[in-house]
Structure 1
Amino acid sequence: MTHYSLYDLNEHIRRVLALNFQQPVWIAAEIAQLGQSRGHLYLDLVQKGEGDELIAQAQAVLWAGDLRKMRARLASDLDAVLREGQEVKMQITVDFHERYGLKLVIADLDPAYTFGQLELKRRQTIETLRGLDLLERNRRQPLPKVLQRIAVISSENAAGFRDFQEHLTQNAFGYGFSCRLFASSVQGKNAEAELLEALQTIDTTRFDCIVIVRGGGARLDLSAFDGLELCKRVAQMPLPVFTGIGHDVDETVLDLVAHAALKTPTAVADFLLQHNLSFENELLQLAARLRSAGDQQLKISQLELQQAEQALRWNAGAQLRASFERVDRIAEALPQIVRARLRGQAQKLEAAEAVCLALHPENVLKRGYSMTYKDGKPLMDASEVASGDLLETVLLKGTVLSKSVGRKRNAARDPRDGKDDRS
């Protein structure tokens, strides 16, 4: 049976590849891993299926000389394209070595392809968020009257964070702020995961708002802010989220779902200052309205008091005049009243005097009556007299002494006339 040596096989493969890939070809792949040695870049390229499973893999190299040429032509876009997890389109030559195997040598890059893929992913993320009704959710969060306790997500070494903090704390209004940094990468392959972790760390009950800031950078540096999970989380935060990720032209998906998107970190600081200034102006206007209303009410009260004082004076004078008139009328009528009262009392006195005179013992005696005494006391009842008692009878003229010989019943009490009751 005929067989090949390993070298013969590999040499045959090299000739076949050289024959079929005489010119460079363009391929699209994802950078799974990226390394550098002696100025050369070494890449592990992969392609994934619909289920995110690995269906193809190859190694590629970008020689130092070609790398310098590309950097001169593409500038910052080169670093933005050549990063792990990025989908890239590259022109390669197929190289196969009998000992070292297959290697793809990168001759050129097409950043526009990467930008297009990111834009496609960005649009898909936006449509997903729209379907979940999350694009406007954080924007509907009510803003506190004062934004003072601020959770800041940024890289602690980022110039944008320093600009934000200095602009906010060194304000001309004398406003005080409490800012706490939740450190996170704001670019690179780990940025989205670290941003999510920072959001989950924030105790939302202790802050008024969340601010995400970073400095400037290449367009592809913003790709972390287009991540679906990050944008979903920001949209669902119970606090208003403000972004200032340092790019004047491009708008990230995170900007779309945030409560407000500002261009730079200092613009975010200005927004917070203006918000608090608006509240202070409202308070000043309210205080002015209160003072004006107070002054107006004071004037009204003073006028009412003056009117009440005038009315009181007039009423007091009128009542005093009425009282004087009443006193005058009483004074005029008093003599007549007194005379009438005296006449009435005199008549009553005369009548009483007449009764007294009629009942005077002397007048009674004048009418033929007499008064009988026993032991110096007036005698009222015949039953008190015993036979032989000494009695004294007073007449109009003189007194008669007598001795009782018996009693005679009163005709009103005993109809037996003429009968004596002698003891």
Structure 2
Amino acid sequence: MSNSSTPAEMMTVAQLNRAVSRLLNEHMSQIWVKGEISNFVQAASGHCYFTLKDDDAQVKAVMFRAKAAGLNFRLQNGLAVEVLATVTMYEPRGDYQIQVEQVRQSGQGNLHETFLRIKDKLSKEGLFDSKRKKRLPSFVQTIGIVTSLGAAALHDVLTALKRRAPYIKVIVYPSLVQGKEAPQALMKALEQAELRHEVDAVLLVRGGGSIEDLWAFNDETLARFMASLSLPIISGVGHETDFTIADFVADVRAPTPTAAAEIVSSSKEEWINTIQQSMQRLSQGIVHHMQMATMRLDRASNQLISPTQRLQQYGQKRDYLVKSLNQAMQKTWQDKKYLLNHEIRALQQLLPNTRIQMQEVTNLTHRLRTSAPKQLQPLHQNLVQFNNKLQKLGSQLLVSKQSQLSAKVETLQAYNPKAILKRGYSITYNMQSDIIKQSQQVVTGEKLRIELGNGKLNVMVLDE
């Protein structure tokens, strides 16, 4: 009896490695692997190469630069991590390895998932919406700080406030910032600041740390309590790359505690600059209003006609009307006379053999001529009435224009710099009569002249 078997397929090493690589890609999806980093090397290209090991085995790993750049902590030997990776084959050497997509420090997986769940829940409820967040006051006089008394963050905030705005009063509300009891302690401190009504805004600050160290600021109850307060809250928790639920629900998020102090305070130089700019705008506004008032007064003066001139104009108009009336009456008389003579001639031609009572015609003509002045009497009366009305209108116009002129004078006096000085202001000049607007314009020992609402003072600068 003889045995026969099918001969095995012959493959090259390259074909074998390629086949194994294809099998891994087809049957091994992304997986989470837990281990400790060793043999860590970061190439000049930015790619990271290391070995992930535990007590029983090890596997080579690579994390390319684009993925490594998104980490908020540094990879180093001895660090316990959890990596999301794809199993691949490096065909030239026949080594299989894992290609890392994400890395988190060991033990943070559940916390991170909880963080994302709380964040998504509160976001859907609208606690992070900008519409519900309160605006910071433009001028802060008293600031509250909620943090641990021994925290470095408190020192950083106090140092920044002292440097930038020593005029701000600071009230510290001590609280735990780490541990299971920290959320309740933070809410109690915030409640004290809310009920006492002694601060304009609250800084909620803490230094950096791991996700476990900062976990108190991810508490859902604390987030809801912060959203219910009427005081503006500025969060400055951890480093710039650290984000907590408190950051999202706070009215303003600062990358660091020091940055939180800078956000809520304006430096002395900024306030001085703001005041100087306001004074400059005020001065320019006063000058502009005075110029506009002067222009309006000039235009009104040009339009204002003296009562004497107006009466002269009305007198000329009256003379013109009288002249026109006389000419019209003269023309009317001539026309009537012409018509009458024409009728007489026509009558004589029609009755050449009849004696015409020429005396009656003469009498009729005389009556017509003597009646003319009587016809003019109504016109004369109208002329007298027009003249009286003209004089009355001239008097009323004079009173009106005098009243308008008095109002313009009062307006101009209101913008008079002398009037402003009488309200308690003053103007300072140097010996060259230049106006002093800034303290940098004078030196110690320089003589100055101060103009007041009533009198002047000569002074000397003792200190700049």
TM-score (norm 1): 0.45
When Rg is computed on C-alpha atoms for both structures, the one with the higher figure is: 1
Q: Which has a greater percent of strand?
A: 1
TM-score (norm 2): 0.41
- Higher relative contact order structure (alpha carbons within 8 Å, sequence separation ≥ 6): 1
